[in-house]
Amino acid sequence: MSQTLLNIKNLYVNYETDEETVRALNGVNLKLNKGEMLGLVGETGAGKTTTALSILKLLPKDIGIITNGQIEFDGKDLTKLKEAELRNIRGERISMIFQDPMTSLNPVLTVGEQIAEVIELHKTLDKKQIESKVNEMLELVGIPAKRKKEFPHQFSGGMKQRVIIAMALSCDPELLIADEPTTALDVTIQAQVLNMMEELKHKLNTAMLLITHDLGVVAQICDKVAIMYAGEIIESGTAEDIFEAKEHHPYTVGLFGSIPNLIEKTNRLKPILGLMPDPTDLPQGCKFHPRCPQCMEICRKVHPDDRQTETHTIKCHLYK
């Protein structure tokens, strides 16, 4: 058994504004071992990004509040750390890749300077060593080192995303959080970036938390999968569990059902009917029950517990 690196226990996050309280996360449990790649899947608004941001404690100031739960990273509870201690962890031990490569780079600094900054902040190296590390990182992601003097606008979208990945990896982090790293890219570039990330995972033995709504991506590169709905992990397990096991949460079934199938001939896609519940006013019982095709009486009243079989966990009343 490999060592647990990240262990999120019963995490609750609220976004509190003057008008309303948005219950973004409602008891998230998530475990990630060293060197593993976990795919976090879910609809827009399910709380995927909130989970990522709360790990780094980058939730919007004064609005995003962790109301309950623990985020254990390498045995330490991140929710209890001071800002200065967190700063040492950010970028060095946990780093993050943001969704949109177009806006994640500072337009007035060269890409070399931006990669160098991460190293400067966390390592005590002299200028020459930093320079050579920057070159090394750029080569690692497949960008000629001589381009480090160029500005972000001189790079294409895919190249920018590579620069961001180079930045994120330059301090050899133990955990890399990638928040939809490929959604802003076109398909061919997506494949390149994903292949590169997979390669890097093997090379550097970095654990990755890959946030996406693309099940294809997950099937391709993830070891483990967690499916989120309305701020909860409703099903999780190894990739085999999710893609091949017989028993599934009805939401997962719906999610797979909404992917067009090459073999069957269909004229229409099969979406999951209805919308995500309003996070300011969540339904009682199982949060999926208003949309669930197999909804039972108990689902409306009682919140289901996890049912665990080996590695596979499902949060549904169907399975007892």
Is 117 an interacting residue with respect to another protein (CB under 8 A)?
Answer: yes
| Parallel, antiparallel or unpaired: strands 224-229 and 232-238 | antiparallel
Is 130 an interacting residue with respect to another protein (CB under 8 A)?
Answer: yes
State which residue, 160 or 224, has the beta carbon closest to another protein.
Answer: 160
Picking from 154, 156, 147, the residue whose alpha carbon sits closest to that of residue 189 is 156
Q: How far is the CB of 3 from another protein (least distance, A)?
A: 24
Secondary structure of the chain in HEC code, one letter for each residue: CCCEEEEEEEEEEEEECCCCEEEEEEEEEEEEECCCEEEEEECCCCCHHHHHHHHHCCCCCCCEEEEEEEEEECCEEHHHCCHHHHHHHECCCEEEECCCCCCCCCCCCCHHHHHHHHHHHHCCCCHHHHHHHHHHHHHHCCCCHHHHHCCHHHCCHHHHHHHHHHHHHCCCCCEEEEECCCCCCCHHHHHHHHHHHHHHHHHHCCEEEEEECCHHHHHHHCCEEEEEECCEEEEEEEHHHHHHCCCCCHHHHHHHHCCCCCCCCCCCCCCCCCCCCCCCCCCCCCCCHHHCCCCCHHHHHCCCCEEEECCEEEECCCCC
Q: How far is the CB of 202 from another protein (least distance, A)?
A: 24
Instruction: Candidates 7, 125, 151, 223: give the one binding another protein (CB under 8 A).
Output: 151
Is 18 an interacting residue with respect to another protein (CB under 8 A)?
Answer: no
Q: How many residues bind another protein (CB under 8 A)?
A: 38
Instruction: Candidates 58, 63, 269, 302: give the one binding another protein (CB under 8 A).
Output: 58
Segment 75-114, which members bind another protein (CB under 8 A)?
86-92, 95-96, 98-100, 103-109, 112-113
Q: How far is the CB of 47 from another protein (least distance, A)?
A: 18
Is 54 an interacting residue with respect to another protein (CB under 8 A)?
Answer: no
State which residue, 91 or 237, has the beta carbon closest to another protein.
Answer: 91
State which residue, 41 or 169, has the beta carbon closest to another protein.
Answer: 169
Is 149 an interacting residue with respect to another protein (CB under 8 A)?
Answer: yes
Q: How far is the CB of 58 from another protein (least distance, A)?
A: 6
Instruction: Candidates 76, 153, 270, 301: give the one binding another protein (CB under 8 A).
Output: 153
C-alpha 143/C-alpha 225 separation (Å) is 31
Q: How far is the CB of 23 from another protein (least distance, A)?
A: 23
Instruction: Candidates 5, 47, 71, 122: give the one binding another protein (CB under 8 A).
Output: 122
State which residue, 151 or 256, has the beta carbon closest to another protein.
Answer: 151
Provide the binding-site residues for another protein, judged by CB under 8 A. 56, 58, 62, 86-92, 95-96, 98-100, 103-109, 112-113, 117-118, 121-122, 127-128, 130-131, 149, 151, 153, 164, 167-168
